[in-house]
Amino acid sequence: MLTNFKRVLNFALIDFYRNKGMSLAAIFVLTIITLLITGLFLIHGVSDYLISTVQNKIDITAYFKADTGEQDILNVKDQILKDSPSIKSVQYVSKDDALNNFNERHKDNSVFSEALSEVGNNPFLPSLNITTSGDPSQYEQISNILQSDQFKNLVDKVDFSQKRDIIEKVYSITSNINKFGLGLGAVMVLVAILIIFNTMKLVIKSAEEEISTMRIVGASSWFIKAPFIIEGGIFGFISFVICFFITLFSVYFLSHMVGVIMPGFSLFSYFISNFWIIILIQLGFGAGLGALSSLIALGRLFNNNSTAN
């Protein structure tokens, strides 16, 4: 068994070096395809960050009556967190915090300052700012809970109705982005399979005479197919090594540029945190797709020859 494997591996390496032009073409195609798939994965990470950032800025606010105690508001916070597991965060804003935030935002606007001075006291209400995963139905559910009889003596109003249109538009846009990404990924995988299959078909076609000779002398189907499957795996492994270093250097040099455009997001950190996933993607699409395409192309060649005979 070990002797046969050595022979098969030797045949694969001999064919690899003998058909350098076809070998380089196959490696080039696999490298481009694997880079595109890797790029799509990185773009998905960027888009997820953007979507998450936008969703975190969309919230609804529950305003409490002016005489509501802080502990009562915190009890409401604990209750809605318990009743609504879809909630991502709830931020309590006291009357004093609301006033300070308003003054900070409008410190350069004298009109607002004068208006507050005329009012004399703090006009703001204590509140809870609530953020979910972005689904409008989740916000509506939370709004209904807060406006139910259970909390009617504490809650003054919930601004969901004013924000409904914005929440629905943001959710629609983010959902469409996710669907587009999945669709684009599926199309790219299909195109990749077709391209590499045809490339490996040409590689095997160039060795058709050698395959016929091996069949004449009584070589088994496994012994004929194995060198080409291994050769496809070699093409893929070489393309994986090339892709990995291209990706590493590209991510390193682009990380600062992306960070300027999207503060808070580090492309290089995303690469490091998903290091093994990227390795599996590149190795899977490289070596796996190369070997699988060889196997499919060989199966078709053998079926055609059997039909012809």
* pLDDT per residue as tens, the chain (309 positions): 556 667 767 766 776 677 677 778 778 888 888 888 888 888 888 888 887 787 777 888 899 988 888 898 899 888 888 888 778 888 999 888 888 887 777 666 666 666 666 666 777 888 999 888 767 888 888 888 888 888 888 888 888 888 888 888 878 887 888 788 788 878 877 777 777 777 777 777 766 677 677 677 666 777 777 777 787 788 888 889 999 999 999 999 988 888 888 888 888 999 999 999 999 888 887 777 777 777 777 666 566 554 445
Please say whether the beta carbons of 258 and 267 come within 8 A.
yes
Q: Considering the domain boundaries, does residue 261 fall inside one?
A: yes
Please say whether the beta carbons of 290 and 31 come within 8 A.
no
| DSSP 3-state of 140 | helix
Q: Considering the domain boundaries, does residue 308 fall inside one?
A: no
Number of domains, the chain: 2
Q: Considering the domain boundaries, does residue 147 fall inside one?
A: no
Task: Give CA–CA dist 214/231, Å, rounded.
Answer: 17
Domain finish residue from 84, 105, 133: 133
Task: Give CA–CA dist 299/308, Å, rounded.
Answer: 14
Enumerate the β-bridge partners of residue 132: 87
Q: Is the pTM of this model over 0.75?
A: no
Residue whose structure tokens are 């690469």: 271
Q: Measured between alpha carbons, how far is residue 148 from residues 60, 125, 155, 234 in Å?
A: 16, 19, 9, 65
Note whether 47 and 182 are same-domain residues.
yes
Burial code (b: 16+ CB inside 10 Å, e: under 16) for 142-178 equals bbebbeeeebeebbebbebeebeeebeebbeebeeee
Helix (H) or strand (E) run with residue 61 in it: strand 60-64
Please say whether the beta carbons of 16 and 290 come within 8 A.
no
Residue 224 domain boundaries: 2-54+172-303
Q: Considering the domain boundaries, does residue 139 fall inside one?
A: no
Task: Give CA–CA dist 293/204, Å, rounded.
Answer: 11
What pLDDT, on a 0 to 100 scale, did the predictor assign at position 249?
93
